[in-house]
Copies of this chain bind each other. A is one copy, B any other.
Amino acid sequence: MNKRLGSRTIKLENPVSISTASSVVGTKEGEGPLREYFDIITEDGLIGEDSWEKAESAMAKKSFENLIKKANKTPEDINYILSGDLLNQSMGTNFGIRDLQIPFFGLFGACSTMGEAMSLGSMLIDGGYANTVIAGASSHFCSAEKQFRFPLELGTQRPPTSTWTVSGSGSCILEKDGEGPYITHITTGKIVDMGIKDSNNMGAAMSPAAIDVLSAHFKDTGRDPNYYDLIATGDLGYIGHELVKKLMPDEGHTLGENYTDCGILIFDKEAQDTHSGGSGCGCSAVTFAGYFYDQLKKGKIKKLLFIPTGALMSQTSALQGESIPAIAHAVAIEI
């Protein structure tokens, strides 16, 4: 059990290489500041399908197929795939991967899914159960709006606190041997629910979970925020990012200029006004698989703490007056 650090962190005995990454995004993401980092920018929201949900499945499929091709592998080379999405019963993932015929562990961590997949996937490799694992996550603006909020056709006005669900599927191949970047530490989230009920303010709902896992990570590893070149939460957007910055000092750590959020990076604040930024499983997944992965490979980021954040509510729980339970998983990555 010398792999455990403190109460919630794992130190991998043999850091796991992130050998390849794949990102497929929608048109809006493809017009944003990270456009040059994405592998595939789809031409329209439906991607040739006849429903938003099928389009999300098609996007996930495209991401995994692109990943396997980029890695010069075949599906038979992959021991496990760990993935999930926001749709009821993970329709995006299950229909997206059914033709791949790879042993599959389905995850539901809402927008924290990419962190959960990288956490479990790297433990399966370091533990000796797999050589090669795919970790992935996806979301689609139209299927998410339809499911969680209002039919798009209504043109309902979005409040200023709301975030824009990213259309995108990000995935990566984790391997026992490889040239990195390497996953070195994993700090696993607990559910934190501070009573926020406004599903148009996900940043506020999820920021306490991010603070909880960040604090646990710093405590368990003995590190402070300056250890990392970049600390990036998943999809808190402007409001959640601000809350984390404001509240972390109460936990004994001040986050500086090296703290950002994928929901801030993915859209242009002025030209692409999405109110509080981007969100969705795909937000952190494609920001990682596109932008961060490129920067790690080029040595521009050497030490990254990546913290996908998830809001675990459903439309039913919201209608029944429930508050929003949230979770965040921290993954430390170094070159």
Residues on A lying within 8 angstroms of B by beta carbon are: 1-4, 7-8, 10, 13, 50-51, 53-54, 76, 79-80, 84, 86-91, 94-95, 97-98, 101-110, 116, 119-120, 123-124, 126-131, 176, 188-191, 193, 312-317, 320, 322, 325, 327
Assembly stoichiometry (copies): 2
Would A190 and B116 count as touching, CB distance under 8 A? no
Flag if B104 contacts A107 (CB, 8 Å). Answer: no
Given the interface pairs A10-B129, A129-B123, the reply to whether A91 lies near B316 with Cβ below 8 Å is yes
Query: Quick one: which of B3, B7, B101 contacts A129, CB cutoff 8 A?
Result: B3
Whether the Cβ atoms of A314 and B87 lie closer than 8 Å is yes
A116 to B82, CA, bound (A): 11
Given contacts A106-B116, A127-B126, contact A94 B191 (CB under 8 A): yes
Q: How far is the CB of A119 from chain B (nearest CB, A)?
A: 7
Question: Which listed residue (B51, B123, B176) contacts A124, Cβ 8 A?
Answer: B123
> Assuming A312-B89, A316-B53, is B105 touching A325 (CB within 8 A)?
no
Instruction: Say whether B119 contacts A127, CB under 8 Å.
Output: no
Q: Compute how far the CA of A335 lies from the CA of B4 in the bound complex, rounded to whole angstroms.
A: 29
A312 pairs with B90, CB closer than 8 A = yes
**Docked pose: A313 CA to B327 CA in angstroms:** 25
- CA gap between A120 and B103 in the complex, in Å: 13
- Name 7 A/B residue pairs within 8 A (Cβ), A-sorted: A89-B314, A101-B190, A103-B188, A104-B189, A105-B107, A108-B108, A127-B127
Contacts of A87 in B (CB 8 A): 314, 316
> Which residues in B have their C-beta under 8 angstroms from that of A8?
103
Bound Cα distance A190, B4 (Å): 31
Asked whether A105 and B128 contact (CB < 8 A) given A88-B316, A89-B88, the answer is no
Set B50, B95, B97, B105: member contacting A120, Cβ < 8 A:
B105
Assembled-state Cα–Cα distance A314/B86 (Å)? 12
Determine whether the beta carbon of A108 is less than 8 Å from that of B128.
Answer: no
Shortest beta-carbon distance from A213 to chain B in Å:
9
Measured CB to CB, the closest approach of chain B to A145, in angstroms, equals 14
**Considering only CB atoms, which chain B residue lies closest to A52 in the complex?**
B316
Complex-state Cα separation, A322 to B54, whole angstroms: 10
In the complex, the answer to whether A191 meets B129 with C-beta atoms within 8 Å is: no
Contact assessment for A88 and B90 in the assembled complex, using a CB-CB cutoff below 8 Å: no
- Measured between beta carbons, the chain B residues less than 8 angstroms from A94 are 191, 312, 325
